[in-house]
């Protein structure tokens, strides 16, 4: 399958960027209601509808949900690209719809989406609420899960730019996990099925972004939805959208997410699940927190008349301004940055650091400063 050509044809151009709310997707779901069934499965804390979209007539059932964390929007965009693919006339789409019934929840946390927060309107991280089920959004997903009786689930998220693929120095653009079902992180038939699908998706992605796929930490937590559903005996695949170079709007990563979803569906369609993929799964390097958005190396700093050479790093903070996400860079670490990388790295070549405050980098300062007399840094970036 030519994924780039397919994505360009199916991309839903009505939504883009990092800020996606219920208001953005409601007219799109209305359009797709002629191809499948849009249904309310509950309400958020603030009374907004939790909507599902069911499409397909096959006996095998796949349940997917996105934006459990309101500020994680890449998967939501990719889902609407998938919707466009499924409602097309292509033979691969018709085949999937005849084999599977898909149930999508494209926005589980509409209150958090509107406020651009991880938590819901009650300040609860929904992905830590699937044992106690204190929140209406959590209860709605569990009720849908029990009613729909899926063969496999997809838990769709974004991860921060800090994650790299092991010690390779490459960003984790896409990360996968087959969650644990117990504290020993054992493998059983349920978990192995998710592993097998992940290995299939990874094989496709390695041809597109070699070395930029990571494996998420599998520490068991019964409060997390993937761990909880896997504990209940239903294979659950976690996909995390991460950083692609210079892609802070996650539009390139959106493409790789689209590829992950379609290649996973194709793998389920074309392959009998067997239990021989565990080594291939474990060979996907585990994510490590080794990246900053900016790293400045070999900077000279004047501390009370004594000149020292140091390194420091800055990280973007995402802030909602109106209906736009702003990226403001702040200094977050000073000193030893061994085994860490910057998505953007600047070598000061011994230039003196100066700013409008104390003329040395401090954690929490905005990343606006000079390096020597010829390099000006504004919001983390070198001003040309």
Residue 273: pLDDT band by 50, 70, 90 thresholds?
Answer: low
pLDDT score at 26: 98
Percentage of the chain surpassing pLDDT 70?
99
Distance CA(200)–CA(298), nearest Å, equals 43
Mean pLDDT of 261-273: 90
Query: Structural domain boundaries of the chain?
Result: 3-289, 291-382
User: Is residue 304 predicted with pLDDT exceeding 90?
Assistant: no
- Mean pLDDT over residues 185-205, rounded? 96
pLDDT of residue 276: 74
Q: What is the mean pLDDT of the chain?
A: 96
Residue 227 has pLDDT above 90, yes or no: yes
Which residues fall within 8 angstroms of residue 10, CB to CB, at 6 or more apart? 81, 82, 84, 85, 88, 258
Q: Compute the average pLDDT of residues 352-372.
A: 94
pLDDT tens sequence across 30-68: 999 999 999 999 999 999 999 999 999 999 999 999 999
Q: How far is CA 381 from CA 25, 163, 289, 342, 366, in A?
A: 34, 21, 22, 12, 12
Statement: residue 171 has pLDDT above 70: yes
The C-alpha angle with vertex 237 and arms to 142 and 211, in degrees rounded to 5, equals 155
Q: Which of 39, 63, 61 is CA-nearest to residue 50?
A: 39
3-289 and 291-382: identical CATH topology = no
Predicted local confidence at residue 271, as pLDDT: 78
* Average pLDDT of the residues in 105-128: 98
Do 380 and 294 meet the contact criterion of CB atoms below 8 Å apart? yes
Residue 358, pLDDT score: 82
Helix 251-270, helix 189-206: angle, nearest 10? 130
Say yes or no to pLDDT of 330 above 70. yes
**pLDDT of 204:** 97
Residue 236 has pLDDT above 70, yes or no: yes
Distance CA 311, CA 292 (A): 12
pLDDT grade for 107, boundaries at 50, 70 and 90: very high
Looking from the CA of 325 toward its CB, the CA atoms found within 13 Å total 22
- Structurally, at CATH architecture level, domain 3-289 sits in 3-Layer(aba) Sandwich (3.40)
The whole-angstrom separation of Cα 374 and Cα 7 is 43
Looking at the chain, the whole-number percentage of residues with pLDDT higher than 90 is: 95
pLDDT in the model for residue 274: 61
For domain 291-382, give the fold. Answer: Urease, subunit C; domain 1 (2.30.40)
pLDDT tens-digit map of 146-170: 999 999 999 999 999 999 999 999 9
Range 103-128 average pLDDT: 98
Confidence (pLDDT) at 371: 97
């Amino acid at each position: 399958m030519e994924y780039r050509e397919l994505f360009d044809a199916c991309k839903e151009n009505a939504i883009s960027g990092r800020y996606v709310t219920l208001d953005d997707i409601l007219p799109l779901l209305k359009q797709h209601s002629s191809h499948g069934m849009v249904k309310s499965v509950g309400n958020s804390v603030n009374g907004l509808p939790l909507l599902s979209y069911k499409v397909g007539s096959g006996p095998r059932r796949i349940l997917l949900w996105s934006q459990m964390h309101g500020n994680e929007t890449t998967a939501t965009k990719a889902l609407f690209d998938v919707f466009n693919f499924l409602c097309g006339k292509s033979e691969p789409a018709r085949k999937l719809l005849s084999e599977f019934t898909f149930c999508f929840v494209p926005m589980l946390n509409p209150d958090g989406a509107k406020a651009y927060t991880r938590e819901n309107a009650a300040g609860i991280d929904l992905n830590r609420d699937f044992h106690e089920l204190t929140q209406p959004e959590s209860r709605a997903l569990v009720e849908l899960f029990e009613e729909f009786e899926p063969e496999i689930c997809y838990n769709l998220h974004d991860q921060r730019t800090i994650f790299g693929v092991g010690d390779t120095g490459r960003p984790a653009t896409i990360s996968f996990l087959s969650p644990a079902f117990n504290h020993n992180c054992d493998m059983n038939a349920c978990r192995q099925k998710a592993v097998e699908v992940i290995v299939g998706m990874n094989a496709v992605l390695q041809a597109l972004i070699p070395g930029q796929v990571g494996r998420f930490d599998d520490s068991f937590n019964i409060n997390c939805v993937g761990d909880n559903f896997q504990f209940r005996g239903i294979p659950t695949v976690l996909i995390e959208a991460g950083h692609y170079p210079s892609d802070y709007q996650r539009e390139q990563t959106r493409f790789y997410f689209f590829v992950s979803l379609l290649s996973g569906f194709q793998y389920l369609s074309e392959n009998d699940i067997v239990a021989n993929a565990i080594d291939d799964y474990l060979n996907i390097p585990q994510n490590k927190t080794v990246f900053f958005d900016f790293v400045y190396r070999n900077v000279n700093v004047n501390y009370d008349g004594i000149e020292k050479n140091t390194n420091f790093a800055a990280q973007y903070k995402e802030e909602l301004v109106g209906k736009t996400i702003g990226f403001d860079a702040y200094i977050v670490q000073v000193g030893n940055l061994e085994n860490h990388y910057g998505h953007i790295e600047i070598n000061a070549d011994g230039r003196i650091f100066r700013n409008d405050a104390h003329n040395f980098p401090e954690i929490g300062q905005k990343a606006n400063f000079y390096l020597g007399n010829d390099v000006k840094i504004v919001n983390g970036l070198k001003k040309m």
